[in-house]
A and B are shown apart, each in its own frame.
Chain A
Amino acid sequence: MSLSDDLYRETILDHYHHPRNHGTIEEPSATVEGINPLCGDELTLFLKVDDGKIAEIKLHAKGCSINTASGSMMTEAVQGLSLAEATKSIEAFKNMMLQSKDTEVTLPESMEELEALQGVKKYPVRIKCALLPWNTLMEGLKTVQTPNGNGKARLEVT
């Protein structure tokens, strides 16, 4: 199996070609723009929080396959979670991506599909592509919990 096959395994390409929860939310609790100016990845995250839980999450993304697939899988993984649970999921995913490339990490069952992104660890410059949606969500969770905030935020990573 070539590295390319590994990296672009079916799960990733499926989410790239058919991103889940793609779109916008009319009256979101939070809107966060996530931008990586160096590589050109851009996304807007919309969050609707009801009763302390993520009732709805949508992403409007313009990025590479890794970025798009990571965001798409993320929306499925965190839908319906409490804010504390969502934070834990972000930490679990980031932990997986930031481990050394030889460490095989197992994620909780609800996040299993995201293990497909472990192949990206072989390509250090692209780890940030996979992380951008998750860092943007983290910013979104903070924004929701900011009293008297306007519900908008912008995250620029390098």
Chain B
Amino acid sequence: MGVCAKTDELIVRGKQVYDVNVVRKDFPILSEIIEGKKLVYLDNAASSQKPKQVIGAIVNYYEHLNANVHRGLHTLSERATAEYEGVREIVKDFIKASSVREIIYTLNATAALNLVALSWGRQNILKGDEIVLTPMEHHSNLVPWQMLAKEREAKLVFLDLTADGQIDLSTAKNLITDRTKLVSVTLMSNVFGTINPVREIAKLAHAKGAVVVVDGAQGVPHMPVSVKDLDCDFLAFSLHKMLGPTGVGILWGREELLEAMPPVFGGGDMISSVHRQYSTWNELPWKFEAGTPNIADVIASGTAIKYLNALGMENVRQHEIDISKYVLNKFDKLGEAILYGPKDVSKRGGVFSFNLEGIHPHDLGQILSDRGVAIRAGHHCCQALMRDLDVSGTARASFYVYNTEQEVDFLFESLKEAKQVMGHVAIR
């Protein structure tokens, strides 16, 4: 059994001390030569790379397990179903949820957040109600609420930010009021890297009877997460940002809330009995999962989480704290760079948005790309926030389990070269 053997091997390795150079060997793409340059991949906030164990799980599924789930009375279908449903248990443990009934597979974090808006939101948000967000939300945790608010004549309210991109808790208690029905906040900003005080916000929200949604797309891959500690009501995240394949997201919700919510999509699998004029719904979690799901990628997502567990999420977080200290020190030495977000590594993850004076982020991204360095340049799906910062965009370097200090060095050498390339006419 290919998958099991590989996973066992991995767990043995995971017991060793965290060694980034050992980790790197599991990621085939990190040896890739692109346009003659060795890849330095610093766009992890957009999507992470995948270890060979995850890629192997996809291949293994299609070679040995492929059949539809929850259907045929044949062995292959039963095996596929067991593997597919088994991942719910892995996800449940990973985020310290109470039951697999609370783990809903979606397409990605965006779909998970939309599911809350379309189901819980449409059922509960009425005219004049307020939905509280932060100005640092990704479009995926802003636009679904705009759509809901428009439909229901509800109002969006935004918490204040401090100058270094943190939520201002001192004004939050005035903005979360009796009119607040829902508060949705990102666990980690994909622009500033800020780790938000979700627990404190949840306390304010619950005191007013509001429901708390957490966008974990950036946070869950990078730190140990417990839905009990966060004290939230819903958590959404995407597997492709945490070593898994694209096309799998998770919505976790409190069971009693999910029980009371109507399904959003109708079709096969989500029903219990179907009649000409009406149907009844399947139980949790399948009530929210209509149609043939993304079986192979869900199974491979289980492998990705096992891989992270083998590394240890505490180790993953510590590695990023170490890299972040190194990066912050480099920015200090570089000077002339505008770095957005908190400087305290205990309050941030390894996402660094910045601008170099006189260089448009797109030009910077291009010059770095020519040296093999992959960063993101643009608005990071936060157009409104870019307007607040009065910039057209930023450059963003984001780190993960396989990034090294040598790669940070190379990034900063490349930034210096970019300054030379862009400045040479002006200097001459």
Q: How far is the CB of A6 from chain B (nearest CB, A)?
A: 9
Q: Are B422 and A13 in contact (CB under 8 A)?
A: yes
Q: How far is the CA of A7 from the CA of B366 in the complex (A)?
A: 9
Would you call A126 and B366 a contact (CB within 8 A)?
yes
Chain A residues lying within 8 Å of B424, measured Cβ to Cβ, are 13
Query: Is B362 interfacial (CB-CB < 8 Å)?
Result: yes
Q: Give Cα A41 to B360, complex, Å.
A: 10
**Chain B positions within 8 Å of A8 at CB level:** 363, 367, 421-422
How far apart sit A14 and B367, CA to CA, in the bound complex (Å)?
Answer: 17
Q: Given A63-B392, A123-B366, is A37 in contact with B383 using a C-beta cutoff of 8 Å? A: yes
Question: Is A39 touching B362 in the complex (CB atoms < 8 A)?
Answer: yes
Verify if B19 is at the interface (C-beta below 8 Å from A).
no
- Contact assessment for B393 and A14 in the assembled complex, using a CB-CB cutoff below 8 Å: no
- A39-72 residues with Cβ-Cβ distance < 8 A to B are 39-42, 62-66
Band of interface residues on B: 20 to 34
Which parts of A47-102 form the interface with B (CB within 8 Å)?
A: 62-66
Evaluate contact between A4 and B367: CB separation under 8 angstroms. yes
Do A4 and B386 touch across chains, with their CB atoms under 8 A apart? Answer: no
Q: Does B425 contact A (CB under 8 A)?
A: yes
Contact B392 A65, beta carbon cutoff 8 Å = no
Contact of B425 with A64 in the complex, beta carbons under 8 Å: no
| Interface contact B363-A5, CB-CB below 8 Å | no
Query: Count of A-B contacts with CB under 8 A?
Result: 55
Chain A residues with Cβ under 8 A from B312's Cβ? none
Type the 1/0 row for A2-26, where 1 means its CB is closer than 8 Å to any CB of B: 1111011010011011000000000
* In the bound complex, CA of A64 to CA of B391 (Å): 12
With a cutoff of 8 Å between Cβ atoms, the chain A residues found around residue B383 in the complex are 37
Instruction: Tell me how many residues of A have a C-beta within 8 Å of chain B.
Output: 25
Whether B366 pairs with A4 at a CB distance below 8 angstroms is: yes
Give bound CA distance, A123 to B365, whole Å. 12
Chain B residue numbers with a CB within 8 Å of A132 are none
Closest to A40 in B: B392
> Counting CB contacts under 8 A, is B378 at the interface?
yes
Alpha-carbon gap, A47 to B391, bound state (A): 27
Q: Which of B35, B366, B379 contacts A40 (CB 8 A)?
A: B379
- Complex contacts, A7 vs chain B, CB 8 Å: 366, 370
Partner of A41, one of B35, B392, B425: B392
The reply to whether B378 and A65 form a contact with Cβ atoms under 8 Å apart is no
Chain B residues closer than 8 Å to A64, beta-carbon distance? 360-363
CB neighbours (8 Å) of B379 from chain A are 38, 40
CB neighbours of A42 from chain B (8 A): 392
B residues 276-297 touching A (CB-CB < 8 Å): none
Interface residues of B in 378-428 (CB under 8 A from A): 378-379, 383, 386, 391-393, 421-422, 424-426
In the bound assembly, the distance between CA atoms of A5 and B424 in angstroms comes to 11
Rounded to whole Å, the gap between the CB of A12 and the closest CB of chain B is 9
Any B CB within 8 A of the CB of A129: yes
Q: Which residues of B contact A5 (CB under 8 A)?
A: 421
A18 to chain B, nearest CB (A): 8
Most chain A beta-carbon contacts within 10 A, residue among B366, B386, B391: B366
Q: How far is the CA of A129 from the CA of B362 in the complex (A)?
A: 10
Q: A39-B393, A62-B392 are in contact. Are A3 and B370 (CB under 8 A)?
A: yes
Most chain A CB atoms below 10 A, which of B371, B424, B425: B425
CA–CA, A158 to B393, complex, Å?
16
Residues 115-126 of chain A: 1 if any B CB is under 8 Å from the residue's CB, otherwise 0?
000000001001
Q: Is the CB of B421 within 8 A of A40?
A: no
**Chain A residues near B35 (CB, 8 Å)?**
3
Q: Which residues of B have CB within 8 Å of A126? A: 362, 366
5 contacts between A and B (CB under 8 A): A8-B422, A13-B425, A37-B383, A65-B363, A65-B422
- 3 nearest A-B pairs in the assembled complex, by CB-CB distance: A40-B392, A64-B360, A13-B425
Extra inter-chain contacts (6) besides given A13-B426, A64-B362, CB under 8 Å: A17-B425, A40-B378, A40-B391, A42-B392, A63-B360, A123-B366
* Chain B contacts to A: CB under 8 angstroms: 35, 360-363, 366-367, 370-371, 378-379, 383, 386, 391-393, 421-422, 424-426
